[in-house]
Chain A
Amino acid sequence: MTLAMARLGVLLLAGLLLAPQARAGEHAVSQKQKEFQPSELSVEVGDEVVFLNDDEISHNVFSRSEGAKFNLKIQRPGEHKRQRFQEPGEVVIRCAIHPKMKMTVHVKPKGEESAATTSGPCTVSDDGNGDDHCEVDASEPMSVDGKRAEDAPESVPAAPEAP
């Protein structure tokens, strides 16, 4: 195992242990290494998604999908921002700064089974009704208005050269 692999493994483990958890009806999406994790997510109408910037660079999450147009504005490393999904449908979410960052949120009518993707920073658990949810530790403060958390980590021949 290379040092890089070992380090990745340790970091993943740490991520699992330290990741903020989400309440029922709440899901978490991480932005890390210029990717959304997970890249697909199923939620119910009325659910809220917490977008965490776990990267070392700023992002700007937005969507222009019908029924879910929003712009979460600049999000520095370590910041969290929330978005509630009110209408059923497929929502394509992107980062305005990094065009290759794309994900899809499948918003389903209330009551339909929500198959939340299990990868990502949230802890998925059974809510007792047979549904999986990203469970959340309410003690983890998340900035609703998107302000930076106080403890946010900083995270032909070549032409001759002109003289």
Chain B
Amino acid sequence: MVNKNKTRGEGKQPSFLSFQRMHFKHLFTIILALVVSTVQLIAQDISKYYAVGTQEPGNIYFIYPQKGFKTPKGESFIYDITYLSPQDSLSIKFTYSDRDLLAIDSLGWKSSTLTVSSPVKKIYIEASSKWIYRYEVKLPVDAMYKIYSNTTDIPEINLFCADRIISFEIKKKNWKKYASINHRIFDLIHLNNKK
């Protein structure tokens, strides 16, 4: 029979510090396991990504702000989507920060098969360390539904300004996540719009 105590350094009792370290290791493992299992349980639930309310003449759907699109310099394009059914267009409200003063004209989504663009409407411009632009654009629902239907065809967002075009790209992993979420939400909208 093997004496376990002898394997830990010739019968010496473990110090209080090593005893504590061991406990923290176990505790960390327990917390990590709980976090992972909780996140996995909620991973497939899309209800936290949107809100819906009844509003004449149908429902008002709101997809919470999404990130992921960035310029090559790392400037983020954050947008949310509002859709009042059964209208043909939805409203995308977006925030973009830039060091330069911009005169933004329109915004477009471009995938390998589809291009949509529309003039923007200003909500506000704020001055911080950078200029913060908050604008709104209305785009056709069907076109956006098609764009989100393809998780492999990664689109590009183009912001058309008076003197330049600012392009935003998204990583494949992020697009796959957001496209599948939004596609399911648009499926839901489509089903509810059916008579």
Verify that A and B bind, or say they do not: no
Binding site for A on B (CB under 8 A): none
Binding site for B on A (CB under 8 A): none
